[in-house]
Amino acid sequence: MHHQIIMKGVIYFLPVLWVSVNCARILGIFRVPFLSHQVVYQPIWKELSLKGHQITIVTTHPLNEPELTNLTEIDVSEAVSAALKTTSIPEIMSKDVPLHSKIHKLFQTHYKIAEAVLSHPRFIEIYNTTNVSYDLVLAEGTTSPILYAVAAKFKVPLVGINSFGAWTGLLSAMGTPHSTSLYSETWSTFRHPMTFSERLRNTLHYIWTRYYLNFEALPKCDQIARKYLGNDLPYIQDIQKNMSLLLQMTNPILYEPRPNVPTVISMEQMHIKPVKPLPKDIKQFLDKAKTGAVYFSLGSNVKSVDIPKKLRKMLIEAFAELPYKILWKFEDDYLPGRPKNVFIRKWMPQQDVLAHPNVRVFVTQCGLQSVEEAISRRVPMVGIPFIADQSRNVIRLSEEGAAIALDHRTVTKEEFKNAIIEVINNPKYRKNVRRLAEIWVDHPLPSLNRTIWWIEYVIRHKGTRHLRSPTVDVSWFKYLLIDVILVLLFCISLILFVLYKTLRFILTRIDIEKKLKQI
């Protein structure tokens, strides 16, 4: 009887023990105040919560799902919005802004965001508490590493995450090789293969980036981190270099394949969801589009209501002359001069709209998340890029035959109409989108499963020191073999000098002997 009681206790206790060992406390910090970024991260913290981990998330876009009982969300949207009141991200990231100016202004913006987050009362309670410990910090990367310092304060592994391909400064910190003849900056429009001029400019930009990071940006980041988290921290660059894992949204279509280190992991289509029924009015409108429908949206950062009046006038006139239904995400209740074939709404369930069989083309700014949604729903595109990586994306898509690229600064009504008609009527565009869709998701594991596995891998092994690239710990002087090259040059010079002296000695002796014979 006593034995049976013990066995029952063990059977009852084992699942509890298993949960306690396998469930971790995770702190996530997602500070960029744009839905297009946050929708990439939301499935990750939701899945971690569903797997039993205790999750605390600092975010500008909380899920607010009561059934996630072990998820605590701290909404910092108001604080971040107040900090960015006089800052326009579309202006900073405009394709008209030089690349070095973009990076400088991005850092200035992230200084403001980091201070807004670190001074938030609820977050102060978290990083100043002494009775709660964490097993992992999951932090959004982008450009500034300031908030990585929270992981150092808690003395736990750090996992960085990006909603697009990481920029050069972050990849270099991870030890990923970066050849300026092959790889350009995330926000650059240099094509592959680059011309001599592009390689020269790319190299100069890389040199400037290293200078700017080491002598301006990182010292400022370190100063802000210490202001809030205390002076008992490693230097911010060392914290970044000790990152256990970097998760980034890349794919073999928009990004050139590169030799990443083992701790740089690719994700894709994280936010793609199963198709849901459309709202009744949108469904009715699209059902009637027997000749096809055009879906037009510039995403969440560039709003149609804010585009130049000249461009808006051209769009309205072009849409009026097209024989298709037009579904337009327009952030106002009223569109002056709206044609009869145009349906407007402030917000659209974009993934479900693109899944409708009558949607034949997506006119888009070509942000990464919009491109992923179009590809997943097999809809070809007409790309009109405005900011950030959008120009790069549409160039690659047009090279793949899945889109036509237009410039919003110079496009005419006829060019715009012809691009839409060409994409709708030429089957090659839809065929190429289907081809890309098959390549994009052909992995051993779905992206979310793969991402969660790697996060839990870091927790299980308390970091990834065993996967750390040796390039992280070597100086640029040694990495580029400058010392070896100098020694080799010295040896070659010494050999040449000895040969020169020897030859000169021999010639001198010959000349002396000739003179002696003449005497």
79 membership: H or E segment, kind and range: helix 77-83
Rounded Cα gap, residues 455 and 448, in angstroms:
11
| Cβ density class 269-298: b for 16+ within 10 Å, e for less | bbbbeeeeebeeebeebbeebeebbbbbbb
Burial class of residue 430, CB neighbours in 10 A (0-12, 13-18, 19+):
middle
Strand partners of residue 343: 327
Whether residue 287 is found in the same domain as residue 396: yes
Rounded Cα gap, residues 321 and 417, in angstroms:
8
Q: What is the pTM of this model?
A: 0.88
Contact 346, 329 (CB under 8 A): yes
> Quick one: DSSP state of residue 195?
P
Whether residue 78 is found in the same domain as residue 215: yes
Whether residue 261 is found in the same domain as residue 288: no
Confidence at residue 258, expressed as pLDDT on a 0 to 100 scale: 87
Flag whether 153 is in a domain. Answer: yes
Confidence at residue 223, expressed as pLDDT on a 0 to 100 scale: 97
Whether residue 201 is found in the same domain as residue 97: yes
Flag whether 190 is in a domain. Answer: yes
Rounded Cα gap, residues 383 and 394, in angstroms:
6
Flag whether 406 is in a domain. Answer: yes
Domains: count for the chain: 3
Flag whether 113 is in a domain. Answer: yes
Task: Please state at what angle helix 99-118 crosses helix 196-212, rounded to 10 degrees.
Answer: 30
Domain enclosing residue 505, as ranges = 481-512
Burial class of residue 415, CB neighbours in 10 A (0-12, 13-18, 19+):
middle
> Quick one: DSSP state of residue 230?
-
Residue 353: closest CA among 323, 383, 374, 384: 374
Confidence at residue 14, expressed as pLDDT on a 0 to 100 scale: 40
Whether residue 456 is found in the same domain as residue 497: no
Rounded Cα gap, residues 497 and 78, in angstroms:
71
178 membership: H or E segment, kind and range: none
Flag whether 275 is in a domain. Answer: no
Contact 430, 380 (CB under 8 A): yes
Whether residue 104 is found in the same domain as residue 169: yes
Q: What is the CA radius of gyration of the chain?
A: 29
Whether residue 65 is found in the same domain as residue 176: yes
Whether residue 327 is found in the same domain as residue 187: no
345 membership: H or E segment, kind and range: strand 342-345
Flag whether 2 is in a domain. Answer: no
Residue 164: closest CA among 365, 393, 351: 393
Torsions phi, psi of 50, nearest 5?
-65, -25
- Amino acid 356 reads H
* Max CA pair span of the chain: 127
Rounded Cα gap, residues 255 and 414, in angstroms:
31
Question: Cα angle vertex 60, ends 57, 63, to 5°?
Answer: 60
Dihedral Cα 120, 122, 127, 128, nearest 10 deg: 100
Contact 111, 217 (CB under 8 A): no
Whether residue 210 is found in the same domain as residue 321: no
Flag whether 496 is in a domain. Answer: yes
Confidence at residue 480, expressed as pLDDT on a 0 to 100 scale: 83
Whether residue 264 is found in the same domain as residue 321: no
DSSP string, 288-340: T-TT-EEEEE-TTTS-GGGS-HHHHHHHHHHHHHSSSEEEEE-SSS--TT--T
3-state secondary structure 402-464: CEEECCCCCCCHHHHHHHHHHHHHCHHHHHHHHHHHHHHCCCCCCHHHHHHHHHHHHHHCCCC
- Amino acid 354 reads L
Residue 268: closest CA among 253, 281, 290, 286: 253
Residue 402: closest CA among 379, 385, 425: 379
Collapsing DSSP to helix, strand or coil, 160 comes out as strand
Flag whether 296 is in a domain. Answer: yes
Whether residue 224 is found in the same domain as residue 328: no
Torsions phi, psi of 205, nearest 5?
-65, -40
Q: State the residue for tokens 């009681």.
A: 5
CATH number at residue 141: 3.40.50.2000
161 membership: H or E segment, kind and range: strand 158-162
The sheet carrying 403-405 orders its strands as: 342-345, 325-329, 293-297, 359-364, 381-383, 403-405
Task: Please state at what angle helix 368-376 crosses helix 35-50, rounded to 10 degrees.
Answer: 70
Rounded Cα gap, residues 149 and 152, in angstroms:
5
pLDDT by residue for the chain (519 residues), tens only, comes to 444 444 444 444 444 433 333 789 999 999 988 888 899 999 999 999 999 999 999 999 999 999 999 999 999 999 999 999 888 887 888 878 888 898 999 999 999 999 999 999 999 999 998 778 899 999 998 789 999 999 999 999 999 999 988 888 898 899 998 888 988 888 888 877 889 999 999 999 999 999 999 999 999 999 999 999 999 999 999 999 999 999 999 988 898 888 899 999 999 999 999 999 999 999 999 999 989 999 999 988 888 998 999 999 999 999 999 999 999 999 999 999 999 999 999 999 999 999 999 999 999 999 999 999 999 999 999 999 998 889 999 999 999 999 999 999 999 999 999 999 999 999 999 999 999 999 988 888 899 999 999 999 999 999 999 999 888 888 888 888 899 999 999 999 999 999 999 999 999 888 888 777 776
Whether residue 185 is found in the same domain as residue 298: no
